[in-house]
Chain A
Amino acid sequence: MSKKGIGVFSSVALFLGLFMGIAFLASYLAVFINNGQKNFYVQYGSAELSGTENLILPLNANSIFYCKYVVPNAQGYNVKIVPSEHLVGLDFKLNGEWNMFRNDTDLTAGFDLVKCDGYFILTLDHVGVTGGGLYGILGFVYGYDAISDVPDLNLREKAYFTIAVTSHNNDTAVNINFSYGYLNGDAL
């Protein structure tokens, strides 16, 4: 190869390398900034959720929540469904004893939640609306024979539940308060 040829080749290689490096860093930075400078976030559709969010989830649909890290190779997350601030403080009888909803009461078993690597699917069916509402959900959690005096709540009115998502090391938490919506595609 001639001296001139080597020079051209090295210039092109340098240009490409710099360009790709800059592009990579720029996009990486953009994503990071767009995420509110938080490493862990939850993507729901085009919305990137962090901190505390409020959603109306469709009925009879499988809502997908992607748990992402700005740092690509980070993995893992924790998810559970707990009472939201609207439900905390209310009480019901469990095995004959009064029991109060607290913000750490795990109600995950009352929902169809499928946890996968990088995302989870929450399916809201009619149980929450016509199948007994909160009673139906608690029935799944504790057993119907064990509960009584459950508050009669309209789960469409308020976001009584919270999807509590945390990063794998629990450093970052995303709380998604949700209420029951309508069939997907229908007007909410």
Chain B
Amino acid sequence: MSSYGRKRKSGWVGAVLAVLVVAALVGALGWLSKGFQDWNAGTWFDGWFHNEEQTETDSSIGGREITALSGPLQLSSMSVETDYDVALYFNNNGGGSVNYGFSVADLSGKGFDDLSVEIQISGQFLRSDNGQMIDSYILLYPDAYDGGYVYSFFGSVPKSNNKGGYSISFIDGNVYTFGADITDWAGDGEPVGYTETLTYVSELSLPPDPTIPHYDFVGWYLDAELSVPYQGQTITSNMTFYAKFVLTTYHIYFVTGFADVSAPAAVSVTALTAGGSMPSLSHVGYTFEGWYTDTARTIPYSSTAEMTGNMVLYAKWEQSFVTVTFMVDGSVYATVQVPYGSSLSAAQAQAGLQGFSVISFSLADLSAPNVVDNVIVLNTDATIYAESMTPIQKVGSVITEHWRVLLGGILSVAVVFGVVSVFTRGKRHSKRRY
């Protein structure tokens, strides 16, 4: 490349650089003149407007004239008891995005309860003309201001000709949610310095139901006497809620242990009170020993113990016994205790009277004889009269009772004998032959 050419090229580059420097200087001046708002290339912040037409630049928000756009927006009140006014319109006439800032202040001096714990702004939005919600980041920081607190947040408007609004939520010990309801959007004759009313948009969100052992939470009440239940009314002022509890009702269930003994109906008992006495049961042949709290029937139920939960009671039974006296030849031969419902023959065997024949028996309650499946069953104390059998009768009795076994044994022996005989004979024959 010739030196001439190089000179011509360097001159062109220098001209471009000069233009850029001038442009940068102009931009810097513009940014400085606009104060608060950030500046983005190709975007100019035209100021704050209080009407949609963006013709009124003398904004007054909440009855207080904004004198400095970079200053905090002061609300007339930030108390939940009073509606307060907020207003914030802006217009981005540029083609790019523009940042904006907005602050709310609590002038009541009360501050937001527990805001030091957490403050959250939700639903903050920027709205474009087409109604599309545009995400924006939010930056929050509490700051002392006039005895109250200032909360600022910032957003970004990426498109031109956008309008902004916001909603905020403050979360403290209770939850209050607010939203911006911009009125008189069209500027239809409202006085300059119009206001927007921040309205209550959400009901109180109650905390999770509190729990106390052995109590049931009934609900929230509005008075200390717990006579006026909260029924979801709109919260318009600071309120105190009173939790109402009632003692839990526990139930006692029963297990009888016998399929033919119906379990009593479950008993309802108020928590922390004694369960009291439980119903008694009866079952033929058994004595009811009471209720127990474990399946092994080792821990008796206490009627004075406070109820601290649902309970299952298990019935404990003891088998009943009857006394059977055996009389032989006018004298007591034996007295035995047999389980209720035992057969007469079982009692006879227990007394060692197999060789005796029962002639009659008397029941203590003079009841009729109880015969079940052809067997005399003893359900009460009894006296049995028996006579000794003769030896022949004993043999006959054995044969009569066990004749099948005896006959089977004889036949078995005969068969074995026959088989052995045939086998041994066969051996002998074969030995003779050879």
Residues of A within 8 A of B (CB): 3, 6-7, 9-10, 13-14, 16-17, 20-21, 24, 27-28, 30-31, 34, 43-48, 57-58, 60-64, 66, 68, 72-73, 112, 114, 116-118, 121, 123, 125, 183-185
Contacts and interface: CB of A to CB of B under 8 A. Distances in A.
B390 A46 contact: yes
A185 B333 CA distance: 13
A61 B385 contact: yes
B358 interface: yes
Interface string B375-390: 0100000010111111
Nearest to A68: B400
Interface string B351-371: 000000111111100101101
A123 B368 contact: yes
A24 B421 contact: no
A55 to B, nearest CB: 10
Contacts of B386: 45
B416 interface: yes
A64 B358 contact: yes
B409 A20 contact: yes
Contacts of A9: 420
Contacts of A64: 358-361, 376
B42 interface: no
Interface in B169-218: none
A19 to B, nearest CB: 9
Chain A facing B: main interface SS: mixed
* Chain A CB within 10 A, most for which of B396, B420, B424: B396
A46 B387 contact: yes
A179 to B, nearest CB: 15
B392 interface: yes
A24 B357 contact: no
Interface of B: 327, 330, 357-363, 366, 368-369, 371, 374, 376, 383, 385-390, 392-393, 395-396, 398-400, 403, 406-407, 409-410, 413-414, 416-417, 420-421, 423-424, 427
Contact of A31 (B387, B396, B406, B424): B396
Contacts of B406: 20, 24
B332 to A, nearest CB: 10
Contacts of A3: 424, 427
Given A24-B406, A62-B360, A46 B392 contact: no
Contacts of B407: 24
A6 B422 CA distance: 11
A111 to B, nearest CB: 12
Contacts of A20: 406, 409-410, 413
B362 A16 contact: no
A183 B386 CA distance: 15
A17 B360 contact: no
A114 B374 CA distance: 10
A43 B357 contact: yes
Contact of B417 (A10, A31, A48, A61): A10
Contacts of B359: 44-46, 63-64
A61 B407 CA distance: 38
Contacts of B362: 58, 60-62, 183-184
Contacts of A112: 368
Contacts of A114: 368-369, 371
Contacts of A48: 393
16 contacts: A7-B424, A10-B420, A10-B421, A20-B410, A21-B410, A27-B395, A30-B392, A46-B387, A46-B389, A48-B393, A61-B361, A62-B362, A62-B363, A63-B359, A72-B399, A184-B383
Contacts of A72: 399-400, 403
Contacts of A118: 374
B151 to A, nearest CB: 100
Nearest 10 CB-CB pairings of A with B: A45-B359, A17-B413, A31-B396, A45-B387, A10-B420, A46-B387, A27-B395, A63-B360, A72-B403, A61-B360
Given A28-B399, A185-B385, A121 B369 contact: yes
A52 B359 CA distance: 18
A185 B357 contact: no
Nearest to B400: A72
A183 B387 CA distance: 17
B359 to A, nearest CB: 3
A183 B361 CA distance: 11
Contacts of A27: 392, 395-396, 398-399
Nearest to B388: A46
Contacts of A44: 359
Given A46-B390, A61-B362, A121 B371 contact: yes
B330 A116 contact: no
A123 B371 CA distance: 13
Contacts of A63: 359-360
B420 A123 contact: no
B357 A45 contact: yes
A6 B420 contact: yes
Contacts of B363: 62
Contacts of A10: 417, 420-421, 424
Contacts of B424: 3, 6-7, 10
A14 B418 CA distance: 9
Contacts of A13: 413, 416-417, 420
A13 B423 CA distance: 14
Contacts of B361: 61-62, 64
A123 B369 contact: yes
Contact of B423 (A6, A34, A45): A6
Nearest to A45: B359
Contacts of B392: 27, 30-31, 34
